[in-house]
Amino acid sequence: MALTGRDFLAMTDLSSTELMEVLGLARDLKAGKECQIGRGKTLGLLFRKASTRTRVSFSVAMYQLGGQVVDLDPSVTQVGRGEPTSDTARVLDRYVDALAIRTFAQEELDLFAYHCRIPVINALTDREHPCQALADLLTMQETFGSLAGLTLSYIGDGNNVAHSLMLGCAIAGVNVRVACPDGFMPDGDIIALAQSMARTSEVIVTHEPARAAGAAHVLYTDVWASMGQESQAQDRAPIFQPYQVNEALLTLADPKAIVLHCLPAHRGEEITDSVMEGSQSRIWDQAENRLHVQKALLASLLAP
Ligand code: CP
Ligand code: NVA
């Protein structure tokens, strides 16, 4: 297994071949393939932000692989009291076999990875949410049979989820069109990176939702204010209103288009209740797929 012992800090840590291998293993595991690679191993969860899906799906994935999970809750460990990351990392490295970290700065995650010999996994930072993008690509592959020739349209805030999707689509050869308000575009270096990696597909960034959504196979959105930006939510609402994923926008997409959202959602803001609950929504399959892709990822990183 080429991924044994590696970190997964960013979407670009996987080549297109490795990405397809992880998705393939995820499909096999979802279909019932037995895998006990985690037996006798422990995954540490170090989360500085709230989480339902990532926390539970990583835990269940590790249990299903025969392993165990330890919760390194910052409020009850020395992590929350400012022990240097370099010290914490070198100690945790001696106890657990892999670490999944959810934090604010990508640099903190990178520092953990630098001081740990074990695999370190990005469970969301302000910059990226690569485990989410894996589940999104699996959901698209399941729906359409293949990723080839698909176009994903992301409408809303140019945030961590948008960043990993752009990079993931570029690596997988999926066309990606991102529509965000002025001042809320994805980071310039991510746009440049995605464009440079997209050898067989295109990466388009615009301020016009209709331009992004036209004939798209996937309409995707996320909250307008991410964790840590709650105080900006009120000011952002009117700016983002034209970027809502609703019935009118959906009619512009391909008739067979699906709707995705990483969740949690704010119904009536970035997405309407009727679209979330509508026949084109694959949001619950997408959430389920977090389990299967992360199980595949853990099995790959922990493989002997
Ligand atoms: N999509 C996602 O990561 O959800 P949680 O914040 O609940 O983990
Ligand atoms: N962009 C959101 C994703 C939550 C899963 C956030 O960072 O809060």
Domain count, the chain: 2
Do residue 194 and residue 103 come from a single domain? Answer: no
Do residue 111 and residue 184 come from a single domain? Answer: no
Do residue 241 and residue 115 come from a single domain? Answer: no
Name all contacts of 225-231 with Cβ < 8 Å and 24+ positions apart. 225/157, 226/126, 226/157, 226/159, 226/160, 227/49, 227/50, 228/49, 228/104, 228/126
pLDDT of 263 higher than 90:
yes
Cα–chain center distance at 24: 17
Q: Would residue 168 count as lying in a domain?
A: yes
Mean pLDDT of 78-97: 96
pLDDT digits (tens, 9 = 90+) for 122-174: 999 999 999 999 999 999 999 999 999 999 999 999 999 999 999 999 999 99
Q: Which atom of ligand 2 is nearest to the CA of 124?
A: 7
Domain with 41 in it: what CATH number?
3.40.50.1370
- What CA dihedral angle connects 178, 135, 228 and 156, to 10 degrees? 20
Do residue 93 and residue 110 come from a single domain? Answer: yes
Do residue 56 and residue 201 come from a single domain? Answer: no
Q: What is the pTM of this model?
A: 0.98
- How far, in Å, is the centroid of ligand 1 from the Cα of 162? 14
Q: Which atom of ligand 1 is nearest to the CA of 262?
A: 1
Contacting residues for 268 by C-beta, under 8 A, at least 6 apart: none
Do residue 296 and residue 281 come from a single domain? Answer: no
pLDDT at position 144, please? Answer: 98
Location of structure tokens 């990178």:
110
Q: Would residue 2 count as lying in a domain?
A: no
Do residue 94 and residue 226 come from a single domain? Answer: no
Do residue 270 and residue 144 come from a single domain? Answer: yes
Alpha helices in 153-267 (DSSP H): 160-172, 188-197, 209-213, 233-240, 247-252
Strand pairing partners for 120?
99
Mean pLDDT of 96-106: 98
Q: What is the mean pLDDT of the chain?
A: 98
Q: Would residue 6 count as lying in a domain?
A: no
* Ligand lying closest to the C-alpha of residue 50: 1
- Residue 236 catalytic? no
pLDDT of 1 higher than 80:
no
**Radius of gyration over every alpha carbon of the chain, rounded to an integer in angstroms:** 19
Do residue 188 and residue 230 come from a single domain? Answer: yes
Mean pLDDT of 45-53: 98
pLDDT at position 272, please? Answer: 98
Do residue 138 and residue 273 come from a single domain? Answer: yes
- How far, in Å, is the centroid of ligand 1 from the Cα of 53? 5
pLDDT of 293 higher than 70:
yes
| Ligand 2 contacts CB of residue 166 (under 6 A) | no
Confidence band of 192 (pLDDT split at 50, 70, 90)? very high
> Which range marks the domain in which residue 267 is found?
132-286
Q: Would residue 5 count as lying in a domain?
A: no
Do residue 77 and residue 169 come from a single domain? Answer: no
What whole-number percentage of the chain has pLDDT above 70?
100
Q: Would residue 72 count as lying in a domain?
A: yes
Do residue 136 and residue 276 come from a single domain? Answer: yes
pLDDT digits (tens, 9 = 90+) for 112-121: 999 999 999 9
- How far, in Å, is the centroid of ligand 1 from the Cα of 199? 30
Confidence band of 199 (pLDDT split at 50, 70, 90)? confident
